[in-house]
Amino acid sequence: MDHTALALIELGAVFFGLGILGRLAWKIGISPIPLYLIGGVCFGAGGVVPLHGIEQFAHLASEIGVILLLLLLGLEYSAGELVTGLRRSWVAGLVDLVLNALPGVAVALMLGWGPVGALAMAGITYISSSGIIAKVLGDLGRLGNRETPVVLSILVFEDLVMALYLPILTAVLAGATLVGGLTAVGISLVVITIVLVVALKFGRYVSALVDSPDPEVFLLRVLGAALLVAGIASQLQVSAAVGAFLLGIAISGSTAENATRMLEPLRDLFAAMFFVVFGLNTDPRTIPPVLVAAVGLAVVTTVTKVITGWFAAKRQGIARMGRARAGAALVARGEFSIVIAGLAVSAGAVDDQLAALATAYVLLMAIFGPVAARVVEPVARAVNARLRPATA
């Protein structure tokens, strides 16, 4: 069969299949991320029907997916909100970092993956899924709850940590020396500082630069600016994803709202391709050997995230039910964990089993996170009802 015809058939089948999986996820009330990963695993190396005609497009589409994920995440925050969130949550943020990064480090070292694998696994188990959490809070009508600003401030802190972590990981994966790694961190800090200052003082000019009353021109400007900044950031070894995130922060006001509205469908399309491509690169035969480790990590990091949310909410004077809701809301892992695993695996600097472990872990956490957020309130009430007669 002609190569172009084969590529179009395979790509059409992938997009149509993603539509079916997305609809199924919506029906059963979970994030579509686990289903996209499973779909990729089924049609990748060692899968049911391996796809071979769309490698180049799929790779580029997955890169664009990561850029759009981080761009829209940045659009959700203004520079002022980031600074305020950092001041409010830095203590709880540090507790979150220690409690949730250490399990990943411990598992990587026990499996013999060395310091580089430990660094990658630390990020995979640490970072919560902002996308899944925001959707779950909206679906459950909890956006106005007292504990929700606490949850969001933790997510802001995590995003800022990622802005420093990703350049470090990229430099280490590239085999940089200590001096090279410190240089990457220094460049990242300088860039982040400059962007925050520009966003605080001159954000309206950045917004005006990409804004346009014509939807087509506006879309081209925003998307073009995102890809340009991501490419330049990647060349500076700051990470393309971080570059897109920082651009999103610099765009504010009605421009950010319009950009979010117009880019959301593109983000969902290319992000779906990113998860599929990650699944395509994961051999399903490598998952069973790491399944016990994935389940163990899921149990431990569920507990550590609940502790994080409880601690952060308690510091703000929130009652026990709100603390429990805050902890359960933070459980889900998703897009960021897969981004980190994808960087590590594509660099070839870690054990191939890391991709399998990350896939199994995210599958579990992306499903269990929303479930935990939904059931925590009735479970807590049932426990209180049982304890009340005993203490009466």
The pLDDT of residue 297 is 95
Q: Would you place residue 392 in the very low, low, confident or very high pLDDT band (cuts 50, 70, 90)?
A: very low
When pLDDT is averaged across residues 169-191 and rounded to a whole number, the result is: 70
Alpha helices in the chain (DSSP H): 3-28, 33-42, 55-75, 79-110, 114-126, 130-139, 148-173, 178-210, 215-235, 240-250, 253-280, 291-315, 320-329, 335-347, 353-391
* pLDDT tens-digit map of 232-247: 877 766 667 777 877 8
End-to-end CA distance of the chain: 77
Does domain 17-386 correspond to CATH entry 3.50.50.60? no
Q: What is the DSSP string of 219-258?
A: HHHHHHHHHHHHHHHHHTTS-HHHHHHHHHHH--HHHHHH
When pLDDT is averaged across residues 186-214 and rounded to a whole number, the result is: 77
Name the CA radius of gyration of the chain, rounded.
21
pTM summary value:
0.76
Q: Which of 338, 347, 310 is nearest to 69 (CA)?
A: 338
Write down the mean pLDDT value for the chain. 82
Q: What is the DSSP string of 171-191?
A: HHHTT--HHHHHHHHHHHHHH
Residue pair 316/303 in contact by the 8 Å Cβ criterion: no
Angle 383-389-392 from CA coordinates, rounded to 5°:
125
Question: Who's near 345: CB < 8 A, 6+ residues apart?
Answer: 281, 352, 354, 355
Token pair listed for 47:
């899968």
The pLDDT of residue 218 is 93
What amino acid is encoded at 340 in this protein? I
The pLDDT of residue 230 is 85
When pLDDT is averaged across residues 10-16 and rounded to a whole number, the result is: 86
Residue pair 173/343 in contact by the 8 Å Cβ criterion: yes
